[in-house]
Chain A
């Protein structure tokens, strides 16, 4: 079945450093979504990418969808303590099921 792998599992950075998490799918995706879950909270939708090679920005966050539509990345520039949480990618391969990656837990040293 479809698998979505996400690395790294954990990332600790100093405040102000950049952060990147990567997502790879075993199958071609029709779209990919990114979610953020704060500690003790629930996943919150950040963005959806649909087109091959698509790049979208939200303030300090940059999301990319690979040309082959099998991988994606989330890059945060100059992290802030409010960025702490677990970031999940979730891939949709056309079936009705959205498959989540294992998540990357970001912690930040102020």
Chain B
């Protein structure tokens, strides 16, 4: 039983395309996140939702649009993909918005060609 699951695991696409990554958690957590990990392994938060409400929106191009249909799901849609978007995107969840103990998904490796 995977606690935080995200799909797809790998995503290879051309520049300019639009793609989505899906995330689901079965832990009953209130808060979910998207993190971007670049080639140097730096983990940077992009967005956070608490009970479907956006609470953290970092300086991310507006080509990135998160959507949380319910508190167990947080999807990430990316428009007009660029080479610099290539990275590993991690979904995570925590019990609440105090960000204690994050549970990460297995990651989506996005390669933009």
Contact = CB atoms under 8 A, between A and B. Distances in A.
A64 B85 CA distance: 36
Chain A binding surface SS class: strand
A88 B104 contact: no
A92 interface: yes
Interface stretch (A20-28, A68-76, A93-101): A93-101
Contacts of A110: none
B97 A96 contact: yes
Nearest to A46: B101
B103 A45 contact: yes
Contacts of A105: 41
Contacts of A103: 41-43
B42 A102 contact: yes
A37 B102 CA distance: 13
A48 B102 contact: no
Interface centre among B43, B98, B106, B107 (most CB of A within 10 A): B43
Interface in B55-113: 55-56, 90, 97-107
B43 A88 contact: yes
A86 B102 CA distance: 16
B56 A96 contact: yes
Contacts of B42: 100, 102-103
B15 interface: no
B48 interface: yes
Interface string A7-48: 000000000000000000000000101010100011111001
A41 B45 CA distance: 18
Interface of B: 40-45, 48, 55-56, 90, 97-107
13 contacts: A33-B101, A35-B102, A42-B106, A42-B107, A43-B90, A45-B103, A48-B100, A92-B99, A96-B48, A100-B42, A100-B44, A102-B42, A105-B41
